[in-house]
Amino acid sequence: MKNAGSILLFLLFILVFNTSINAQQKPQTILQGTELLVPFSKTIIDSTSWVKLGKEALMKVEKLICTNKNYKVISFTFMVELRGDIVTTKGSGNVFTPEMKKTINNLNSGARVWIQDISSKGPDGKVEKLQNICFKIE
Protein backbone atom coordinates (compact mmCIF):
# COMPACT_ATOMS: atom_id res chain seq x y z
CA MET A 1 0.00 0.00 0.00
CA LYS A 2 2.96 2.30 0.69
CA ASN A 3 4.14 1.77 -2.92
CA ALA A 4 0.68 2.65 -4.29
CA GLY A 5 0.78 5.96 -2.40
CA SER A 6 4.23 6.77 -3.82
CA ILE A 7 3.11 5.91 -7.33
CA LEU A 8 -0.02 8.06 -6.97
CA LEU A 9 2.06 10.97 -5.68
CA PHE A 10 4.51 10.58 -8.60
CA LEU A 11 1.66 10.51 -11.17
CA LEU A 12 0.13 13.61 -9.59
CA PHE A 13 3.50 15.39 -9.84
CA ILE A 14 3.79 14.45 -13.55
CA LEU A 15 0.25 15.71 -14.22
CA VAL A 16 0.88 19.06 -12.50
CA PHE A 17 4.30 19.47 -14.18
CA ASN A 18 2.93 18.75 -17.68
CA THR A 19 -0.02 21.09 -17.13
CA SER A 20 2.27 23.95 -16.10
CA ILE A 21 4.57 23.34 -19.09
CA ASN A 22 1.63 23.31 -21.52
CA ALA A 23 0.19 26.50 -20.01
CA GLN A 24 3.47 28.29 -20.71
CA GLN A 25 3.64 27.29 -24.37
CA LYS A 26 3.16 30.01 -26.95
CA PRO A 27 -0.23 30.06 -28.66
CA GLN A 28 -0.18 29.16 -32.30
CA THR A 29 -1.59 31.87 -34.53
CA ILE A 30 -2.20 30.93 -38.11
CA LEU A 31 -2.62 33.10 -41.15
CA GLN A 32 -4.96 31.59 -43.69
CA GLY A 33 -5.03 33.77 -46.77
CA THR A 34 -6.57 37.04 -45.60
CA GLU A 35 -7.82 35.60 -42.30
CA LEU A 36 -6.09 35.61 -38.93
CA LEU A 37 -7.17 32.56 -36.93
CA VAL A 38 -7.78 33.36 -33.27
CA PRO A 39 -7.29 30.29 -31.04
CA PHE A 40 -10.48 29.45 -29.17
CA SER A 41 -8.86 29.50 -25.77
CA LYS A 42 -9.29 31.55 -22.65
CA THR A 43 -5.78 30.76 -21.44
CA ILE A 44 -3.94 33.84 -20.23
CA ILE A 45 -0.77 34.26 -22.27
CA ASP A 46 1.83 36.72 -21.05
CA SER A 47 2.93 39.44 -23.45
CA THR A 48 6.39 37.90 -23.83
CA SER A 49 4.89 35.21 -26.10
CA TRP A 50 5.43 37.09 -29.34
CA VAL A 51 4.54 35.71 -32.74
CA LYS A 52 6.98 37.08 -35.35
CA LEU A 53 5.20 38.30 -38.45
CA GLY A 54 6.20 40.33 -41.49
CA LYS A 55 4.44 43.64 -42.06
CA GLU A 56 3.36 42.51 -45.53
CA ALA A 57 1.63 39.44 -44.09
CA LEU A 58 -0.19 41.52 -41.47
CA MET A 59 -1.25 44.02 -44.16
CA LYS A 60 -3.00 41.19 -46.02
CA VAL A 61 -5.19 40.32 -43.02
CA GLU A 62 -8.75 41.42 -43.63
CA LYS A 63 -10.56 39.77 -40.75
CA LEU A 64 -10.22 37.75 -37.57
CA ILE A 65 -11.91 34.38 -37.38
CA CYS A 66 -12.18 31.99 -34.45
CA THR A 67 -10.70 28.50 -34.71
CA ASN A 68 -14.01 27.24 -33.29
CA LYS A 69 -16.21 27.80 -36.36
CA ASN A 70 -19.32 27.98 -34.14
CA TYR A 71 -18.08 31.31 -32.75
CA LYS A 72 -17.68 34.62 -34.53
CA VAL A 73 -15.34 37.42 -33.44
CA ILE A 74 -17.56 40.41 -32.63
CA SER A 75 -15.06 42.95 -31.29
CA PHE A 76 -11.40 43.47 -30.43
CA THR A 77 -8.87 46.13 -29.49
CA PHE A 78 -5.91 46.77 -31.80
CA MET A 79 -2.84 48.26 -30.10
CA VAL A 80 0.50 49.07 -31.64
CA GLU A 81 3.75 50.62 -30.54
CA LEU A 82 4.44 53.38 -33.07
CA ARG A 83 7.51 55.59 -32.65
CA GLY A 84 7.49 55.09 -28.87
CA ASP A 85 3.75 55.78 -28.48
CA ILE A 86 0.98 53.25 -27.95
CA VAL A 87 -1.84 53.69 -30.47
CA THR A 88 -5.17 52.01 -29.61
CA THR A 89 -8.09 51.43 -31.96
CA LYS A 90 -11.32 49.58 -31.14
CA GLY A 91 -12.57 47.13 -33.71
CA SER A 92 -16.28 46.44 -34.09
CA GLY A 93 -16.96 43.12 -35.76
CA ASN A 94 -14.05 41.04 -37.03
CA VAL A 95 -12.56 43.34 -39.71
CA PHE A 96 -9.43 45.51 -39.61
CA THR A 97 -10.44 49.13 -40.20
CA PRO A 98 -8.72 51.39 -42.77
CA GLU A 99 -7.18 53.25 -39.80
CA MET A 100 -5.65 49.98 -38.51
CA LYS A 101 -4.28 49.18 -41.98
CA LYS A 102 -2.73 52.65 -42.22
CA THR A 103 -1.10 52.17 -38.81
CA ILE A 104 0.28 48.75 -39.82
CA ASN A 105 1.72 50.27 -42.99
CA ASN A 106 3.70 52.76 -40.88
CA LEU A 107 5.32 50.08 -38.67
CA ASN A 108 9.03 49.38 -38.65
CA SER A 109 10.82 46.13 -37.90
CA GLY A 110 10.70 45.35 -34.18
CA ALA A 111 7.40 47.17 -33.57
CA ARG A 112 4.96 45.37 -31.29
CA VAL A 113 1.30 44.77 -32.09
CA TRP A 114 -1.37 43.52 -29.69
CA ILE A 115 -4.82 42.27 -30.56
CA GLN A 116 -6.64 42.01 -27.27
CA ASP A 117 -10.05 42.16 -25.62
CA ILE A 118 -11.18 39.73 -28.32
CA SER A 119 -14.85 38.86 -27.86
CA SER A 120 -16.63 36.11 -29.73
CA LYS A 121 -20.27 35.06 -29.84
CA GLY A 122 -21.51 31.51 -30.09
CA PRO A 123 -24.67 30.09 -31.59
CA ASP A 124 -26.40 30.32 -28.20
CA GLY A 125 -25.65 34.07 -28.05
CA LYS A 126 -23.14 33.67 -25.23
CA VAL A 127 -20.14 36.02 -25.48
CA GLU A 128 -16.70 34.56 -24.71
CA LYS A 129 -13.46 36.51 -24.18
CA LEU A 130 -10.50 34.97 -26.01
CA GLN A 131 -6.76 35.14 -25.44
CA ASN A 132 -4.71 38.11 -26.59
CA ILE A 133 -2.43 37.81 -29.61
CA CYS A 134 0.96 39.56 -29.61
CA PHE A 135 3.03 40.18 -32.75
CA LYS A 136 6.51 41.49 -33.27
CA ILE A 137 7.07 42.86 -36.77
CA GLU A 138 10.04 41.25 -38.53
CA–CA separation, 40 and 128 (whole Å): 9
Query: How much is the pTM?
Result: 0.70
Ordered by start, the domain boundaries in the chain are 29-137
Strand 35-38 with 30-32, pairing: antiparallel
pLDDT at 110 exceeding the cut of 60? yes
For all residues of the chain together, what is the average pLDDT? 76
Burial of 94 (0-12, 13-18, 19+ CB in 10 A): buried
Question: 42-66: per-residue pLDDT in tens?
Answer: 544 444 567 788 889 888 888 898 8
Task: Lowest mean pLDDT of 4-13, 102-111, 113-122, name the range.
Answer: 4-13
